A and B are shown apart, each in its own frame.
Chain A
Amino acid sequence: MSAVIFNNVAKQFESSDSGTGLQRYAVQALTFEVGAGEIVAVVGKTGCGKSTMFNLLIGLIAPTSGHVEVLGHNPFGEFDRLRGKIGVVFQNDRLLPWRNALDNVAYGLELSKVPHDERYEAARGWLTQLGLSGHEQEYPHALSGGMRQRVSIARAFATHPQILLCDEPFSALDELTGATLRREFQTLVRETTQTSLFITHSIREAIELGQRILVFRAPGHVALEIDVQQALAEHGESRLKEIILEAMGDKPAAPDIHPS
């Protein structure tokens, strides 16, 4: 069963040269599926429609045409039906500055109407699991960048979402902090066995995390779909990276590339 379905989806926005009535496609003929429990990485260059796909999936915007389905619901039209079912880790932490670390982790649970004691017990547990025990009462401004991102990861996992979405969650961190957090995150994702969709700029990260990789190209469509284990077995890691780069449009296409 598919947890996420994009079927021939297009999304048009008015051109930044507003008033001209010109429309540009952020996403066009976007078709892919993510199976329940599957971990899928999405790679692509800046401006290839990854963020628009993300917003369509969360239900923040409606497609211009085509069909989006998340856990059997139209995410835009049936916004309320997905309450508590999607967890998101953003590129930056997006913590509410007026809430301390504990309250931030409990935020999604509060919106999902989880009883007070239950949600704070869960939030404390997640903070402990992410190494932030003792920092529960601290406000975001008092935490380091890495700690804030840990809080945001805890917030996403705390609701036990059926789908986990990650939008380049480590790209705003320094190399060392990002690497450490990436490892912990991988462990968490595998332990929780959620349906996960990662947007990343890092091909290495995509290969490490994803069971499948979707290579996006502008205007937002899937240029190449890769089964990671199979591709690694066939080509090896360095060749696979080259294949992905070529599909992204960073290198001229080699003869053995077969865009979907």
Chain B
Amino acid sequence: MAVKSFKLPEKKKEEPLTKKIEKFLNIYILPVGAIVLFFGIVIFLVIPKISKIFSKIEEIRTLNSEYDLKESELVAVKNLENEKTTILGNLTKINELAPSGQTKVVEYGNKIAELTKTHNLTITNQRLSDSRLENASNNESALVLREVPNLFELQGELLDIKQFVQDISQLSDFVVVEEIEMSQVNSEESSLWLLSLTLIKYQFTVQRPELVDQLFLAVPPQSRIDDEVLKYL
């Protein structure tokens, strides 16, 4: 006797909507979720990572150029070391031109006073004025150059005065004649002349000692002493 399978009668009735949605979700929830996750990973992880990689490549470029600069700075610094003796020599001369202390300024005034005596000139007036900032100096800077004006009014023979002016120029000290006026004494029988002279002595002043080293170190090692000053030295 043959055993036969039998079929249950097919249900013809329509599936309810909730059942349909559930069935749809059962089938498509995973792919949809996977796509969302995929885009999530791309948007929140991959794209930021790519942009980070590009910014790091840019950082490499910046660091490379910084490295090149440092390398050339090292070469320049090594050159400086080779020129150390010259640099120190120039610095000593500059410090003689414009000393840092007040003593040299007073000494210079005394030197001039001595010179007048050797030329038979009479000092009718001598005044050391308050120092003032040189035009090129910035008041905020750690190091400034100050001008110390020294006024002399002298009286004597024309030849003596001319010789005196000549001898001032020969002094080793660096001074600038700011004002000079030579005129004959207004008297018919007198051969005397009057000399009014304002001499400027220069003085370096450290205004902010805590910043002065930083100021010097900030100068690029490729920089050198100004040509005109070097020529003068």
Question: Are A and B part of the same complex?
Answer: no
